Amino acid sequence: MTVALSKSRALMGCASSLTLMAAMFASQQVAAHGYMSDPPSRAYACVKKLNTDCGTAVYEPQSVGETNKGFPTFGPADGQIASGGLSQFFAIDAQSATRWHLSEITDRNVQFDWYYEAAHKTTKWEYFITKAGWNPNLPLARASFDLTPFCTVEAGGAVPVDGAEGSRGPAKEKHECVIPADRTGQHIILGAWTVDNTVAAFYNVVDVNILAAAPDPDGWTNVGALAPSLALLPGDSVKARAFTGSAESAEYSFSIGIDSAEEGQPANWAFKLAESVNAANKPVRAGVRNEDGSIEPIKGTNTFYAKAESGVTNYQLQTTLVPDPEAYMHVHDVAGEYVLDKGQVNVDFTLMTNKKIVVEATVYNADNKQVGSIQQTIDATTAPVSVAVRSAPGAHSLKLIATSEDGRENFQDLKALNLTGEGGSQEYDAIYPEGFATYKAGTTVLQPKNGKVYECKIFPYSGFCAQYAPSATHYEPGTGSNWTDAWIEK
């Protein structure tokens, strides 16, 4: 694998060629997935809880930015460079000077690292950087970047991991590159991984703060992130817990209370907490480092810093939420009996709430095996809920678990059900997602959301069958956006 620094490249192409490439890409998608892990891509920083309000990118950083190759002639459209034009990831196209966590770059000689969920033969990696004087409050576009990559790493069709094509794991080699000497402060690096045997490429944006001229000014060391997520209410409190090794340090821990709804907005309470840390005038700080080494709080994601004399190695946030005594969830219209038709029935009922809640409704048989489930968001209203069930006649139960958007409220209920009628006959190995980690080629599962049975595809696609998270539905059989990459309907 060789590294070459490109000197010139002209921007070519037009809207018609982008459309043509998009059509080709749509017909030739493959299951190749990966992301920049160090410094972390915007989506992977969501996984690490450095970024918030990321949408589904937090569950699938490896799928973000997948589109046609050939940037800047082709590739993602202007305004959608971070998401790759994939609608499920549009949340990370939001662009402002304080929207995303900035990874510090303190040495212009950098090593870019990737992680691959499904590695494919690779042509090259290219790294682009925003222009000097770019405007971080404008949507990301080609005009934001130098369109000549400052670093190119050739792969010659090799698989970038230790293993066969389709394998999962860290990159075999890091990419040694040099940040241009005239770039300092806030910038975005665009990493483009070009797959060799398809029309696809993966585009990852990395938000950075380049401080190469002042590494660790005055001995400050990064010891954690102050990444606000929840909107807090009056009476709530937040504590920045300092740790020296495994023990909490009372001397370097700080707490604030929330006095108003405005102060409870994430950016505002993060600023207040960072200010309280700095006002103590101790060898710890919170904020963002400027090029001169000073550390100042911002209304957004801040960084915790400590000097060696403090002994602080890590900060963790702890929020204490005041319950809302007026919040409620009521369950209505649960029937005493539901009649199966060839083993299938919809369990219908009504929920009433005065909060925005996410409800998980699950039906279990007498052996406490899941035979139907659904997750539904209800926004302070009365709403019907229907759970598709596939089971046999007998005693069942309906379990309801609901949480408010801020995690402040938690409602639970359990209702007894009796299913009558006739059972079904189709066989399967498991009811999705029970035992998902054991799924392999040939495994058959019942999808309780639609009552259908699916079979896991052969290698290398079988690896996607075992991927599951409660809100990550990319490969969920029958319902996920790319379920056909992993499953066949029986």
Distance of CA 262 to the CA centre of its chain: 27
Contact present, 431 and 370 (Cβ < 8 Å): yes
**pLDDT of 46 higher than 60:** yes
The structure tokens listed for 304 are 């915790």
Residue 125 confidence (pLDDT): 96
**What tens digit of pLDDT does each residue of 314-371 get?**
999 999 988 777 888 999 999 989 999 888 899 999 999 998 999 999 999 998 888 8
* Separation between Cα atoms, residue 159 and residue 122, nearest integer Å: 6
Q: What is the pLDDT of residue 325?
A: 74
pLDDT for position 470: 60
Instruction: Kindly report the number of other CB atoms within 10 A of residue 180's CB atom.
Output: 15
Closest listed residue to residue 358, CA positions, set 325, 406, 319, 397: 406
- Reduced 3-state DSSP string for the chain: CEEECCCCCCCCCCHHHHHHHHHHHHHCCCCCEEEEEECECHHHHHHCCCCCCCHHHHCCCCCCCEEECCCCCCCCCCCCCCCCCCHHHHHHHCCCCCCCCCEEECCCEEEEEEEEEECCCEEEEEEEEECCCCCCCCCCCHHHECCCCCEEEECCCCCCCCCCCCCCEECCCCEEEECCCCCCEEEEEEEEEEECCCCEEEEEEEEEEECCCCCCHHHCEEEEEECCCCCCCCCCEEEEEEEECCEEEEEEEEEEECCCCCCCCHHHHHHHHHHHHHHCCCCEEEEEECCCCCEECCCCCEEEEECHHHCCCEEEEEEECCCCCCCCEEEECCCCCEEEECCEEEEEEEEEECCEEEEEEEEECCCCCEEEEEEEEEECCEEEEEEEEECCCEEEEEEEEEEECCCCCEEEEEEEEEEEECCCCCCCCEECCCCHHHCCCCCEEEECCCCEEEEECCCCHHHHHHCCECCECCCCCCCCCCHHHCEEEC
Return phi, psi of residue 484, to 5°.
-70, -15
Q: pLDDT at position 103, please?
A: 92
- The mean predicted confidence, pLDDT, of the chain is 87
Which residue did the predictor score with more confidence, 22 or 183? 183
Predicted pLDDT of residue 8: 34
Asked whether 163 and 116 are in contact (CB, 8 A), the reply is: no
Closest residue by Cα to residue 198 from 126, 123, 116? 123
- Tokens found for residue 372: 């139907």
Amino acid present at 486: A
Rounded Cα–Cα distance for residues 119 and 309 (Å): 44
Contact criterion met (CB below 8 Å) for 5 and 150: yes
The pLDDT value given to residue 17? 41
pLDDT at 32: 63
User: 69-120 pLDDT, tens per residue?
Assistant: 999 999 999 999 999 999 999 999 999 988 999 998 988 899 999 999 989 8
Query: For the whole model, what pTM was predicted?
Result: 0.56
Quick one: pLDDT at residue 116? 95
Pick the range with the lowest mean pLDDT from 29-38, 205-214, 386-395. Answer: 29-38
Is 62 exposed, middle or buried (CB count within 10 Å of its CB: 0-12, 13-18, 19+)? buried
Q: Which two tokens stand for residue 453?
A: 């049975």
21 or 320, higher pLDDT: 320
pLDDT band at 31 (very low <50, low <70, confident <90, very high): low
Q: Token pair 């809880």 is at which residue? A: 49
For 250-309, the pLDDT digits (tens) are 999 999 999 998 999 999 999 999 999 999 999 999 998 887 778 999 988 899 999 999
Q: Prior bond to 297 cis, omega within 30?
A: no
Cis omega before residue 136 (within 30°)?
no
Does residue 56 carry a pLDDT above 50? yes
Percentage of residues of the chain with pLDDT beyond 70 = 91
Exposure pattern of 422-461 as b/e (b: 16+ CB <10 Å)? eebeeebbbbbbeebeebeeebbbbbbbebbbbbbbeebb
CB under 8 Å, gap of 24 or more: what pairs does 76-83 form?
76/203, 77/18, 78/139, 78/140, 78/141, 78/142, 78/143, 79/139, 79/140, 79/141, 81/140, 81/141, 81/190, 81/203, 81/205, 82/42, 82/140, 82/203, 82/205, 83/57
- According to the model, what pLDDT value does residue 452 have? 83
The pLDDT of residue 16 is: 40
Rg over alpha carbons for the chain, rounded to the nearest Å, is 26
Note the pLDDT tens digit of each residue in 185-230. Answer: 899 999 999 999 888 899 999 999 998 655 455 788 889 888 888 8
Q: Which residues pair with 430 in a beta bridge?
A: 445
| Nearest to 164, CA basis, from 112, 113, 114, 116 | 116
State how far the alpha carbon of 433 is from the alpha carbons of 13, 368, 384, 427, 455, in Å. Answer: 45, 14, 24, 16, 13
The mean pLDDT value for 367-386 works out to: 92
- The proportion of the chain whose per-residue pLDDT surpasses 90, expressed as a percent, equals 60
